[in-house]
């Protein structure tokens, strides 16, 4: 297959490009490097099956030659990133998604959308099944991301209905691993960076809020299973084991052996209280389930961050 990956220079996108190449597919990576970094895909450039184009997919998407599938991952994903780029986030979720859908339609290609657990907002139903419609504040600061992704799902479903486009929707829950930016502001990258540099860990609120953390390799297997199917979903993809942010902090401190203190900061506006996916649909239809435990995944991520102290903004790890 020849697969177009929008946002292929980001954290998840670069792992997806790599996995596709590893199994023999050709990859066209489209990225504007607004939140991704060229270094994520630099090692793929010598591969003749890999092409990289620096483009803003909100402006338009055109790819010459055969296209068998489009994986649309382009979008800021970390809250500080999308809060800093509110209009660009809305643009890439709306116009960017439409441009990627039109590309798939022109080529008769399969289209998969990287949607998010954020479409459930601050959920009133717990844990979250795909049948839950969500609880999103449509004018709050996070709405630029949540509503953009809700629109992206809506327009993808409409292309499926109106044009019979082969669409698949993945609702991705918090995913972590190597190639997260150390200072992207997400909780896993922040805690690891802070623990390794001896800075205080920044817990927002009392740390009693929960998330379910999925290791990147598991997520990429899930995205490939969706890509290879002709199922629309939507499918929750995430790890169903729920942890409090406080537990995550304790685990990172234990695994790094760090003596960092823990500081509490105000909880961000509209920060969801609980998050846990029901993954029965993905298990039964795609045959997918996560396999990597949190301590194992965190150890691998800590090793990645620790191997390059320069990335942490210090000359040596504390």
Structure tokens at 91: 């643009």
Among 145, 159, 176, 215, the one annotated catalytic: 145
Does residue 150 belong to the site contacting ligand UDP (CB under 6 A)? no
C-alpha span between 30 and 53 (Å, rounded): 5
Does residue 200 belong to the site contacting ligand UDP (CB under 6 A)? no
C-alpha span between 278 and 237 (Å, rounded): 9
- Dump the DSSP string for 18-71: HHHHHTT-EEEEEE--SSS-THHHHTTTT-TTEEEEE--TTT-----S---EEE
DSSP code, position 119: G
Which CB sits closer to ligand UDP, 59 or 206?
206
Return the residues of window 73-112 that contact ligand UDP according to CB under 6 A: 79
Contact call for residues 226 and 235 (beta carbons, < 8 A): yes
Which CB sits closer to ligand UDP, 107 or 186?
186
Task: Write down the least CB distance from residue 316 to ligand NAD, Å.
Answer: 26
Task: Write down the least CB distance from residue 214 to ligand NAD, Å.
Answer: 8
| Total interface residues for ligand NAD by CB under 6 A | 29
C-alpha span between 313 and 105 (Å, rounded): 44
Return the residues of window 150-209 that contact ligand NAD according to CB under 6 A: 172, 174-175
Task: Write down the least CB distance from residue 299 to ligand NAD, Å.
Answer: 19
C-alpha span between 224 and 227 (Å, rounded): 5
Return the residues of window 47-86 that contact ligand NAD according to CB under 6 A: 56-58, 73-77
C-alpha span between 267 and 76 (Å, rounded): 21
Q: Using CB distances below 5 to 8 A depending on partner kind, what does residue 190 bind out of ligand UDP, ligand NAD, none?
A: ligand UDP
Which CB sits closer to ligand NAD, 115 or 197?
115
Does residue 211 belong to the site contacting ligand UDP (CB under 6 A)? yes
Contact call for residues 229 and 272 (beta carbons, < 8 A): no
5: helix, strand or coil? strand
Does residue 145 have an active-site annotation? Answer: yes
Catalytically active residues are: 145
Q: Give the residues lining the site for ligand NAD (CB under 6 A).
A: 6-7, 9-13, 30-36, 56-58, 73-77, 92, 96, 114, 116, 172, 174-175
Q: What is the contact surface with ligand UDP in residues (CB under 6 A)?
A: 79, 174, 186-187, 190, 202-204, 209, 211, 245, 267-268, 271
């Amino acid at each position: 297959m020849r697969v177009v990956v929008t946002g292929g220079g980001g954290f998840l996108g670069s792992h997806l490009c790599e996995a596709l190449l590893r199994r023999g597919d050709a990859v066209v990576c489209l990225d504007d490097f607004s939140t991704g970094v060229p270094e994520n895909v630099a090692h793929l450039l010598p591969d003749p099956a890999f092409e990289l184009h620096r483009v803003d997919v909100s402006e338009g998407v055109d790819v010459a030659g055969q296209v068998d599938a489009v994986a649309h991952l382009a979008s800021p994903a970390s809250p500080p990133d999308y809060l800093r780029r509110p209009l660009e986030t809305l643009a890439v979720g709306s116009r960017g998604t439409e441009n990627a859908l039109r590309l798939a339609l022109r080529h008769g290609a399969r289209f998969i959308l990287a949607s998010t657990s954020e479409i459930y907002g601050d959920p009133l139903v717990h844990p979250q099944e795909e049948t839950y419609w969500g609880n999103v504040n449509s004018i709050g600061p996070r709405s630029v991301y949540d509503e953009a992704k809700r629109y992206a799902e809506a327009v993808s479903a409409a292309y499926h209905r109106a044009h019979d486009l082969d669409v698949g929707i993945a609702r991705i829950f918090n995913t972590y691993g190597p190639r997260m930016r150390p200072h992207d502001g997400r909780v896993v990258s922040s805690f690891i960076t802070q623990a390794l540099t001896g800075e205080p860990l920044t817990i927002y609120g009392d740390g009693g809020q929960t998330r379910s953390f999925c290791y990147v390799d598991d997520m990429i297997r899930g995205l490939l299973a969706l890509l290879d199917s002709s199922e629309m979903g939507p499918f929750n993809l995430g790890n169903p084991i729920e942890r409090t942010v406080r537990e995550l902090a304790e685990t990172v401190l234990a695994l790094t052996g760090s003596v960092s203190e823990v500081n509490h900061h105000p909880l961000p506006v509209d920060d969801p209280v609980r998050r846990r996916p029901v993954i029965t649909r993905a298990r039964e239809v795609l045959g997918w389930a996560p396999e990597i435990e949190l301590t194992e995944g965190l150890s691998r991520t800590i090793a990645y961050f620790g191997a390059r102290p320069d990335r942490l903004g210090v000359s040596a790890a504390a």
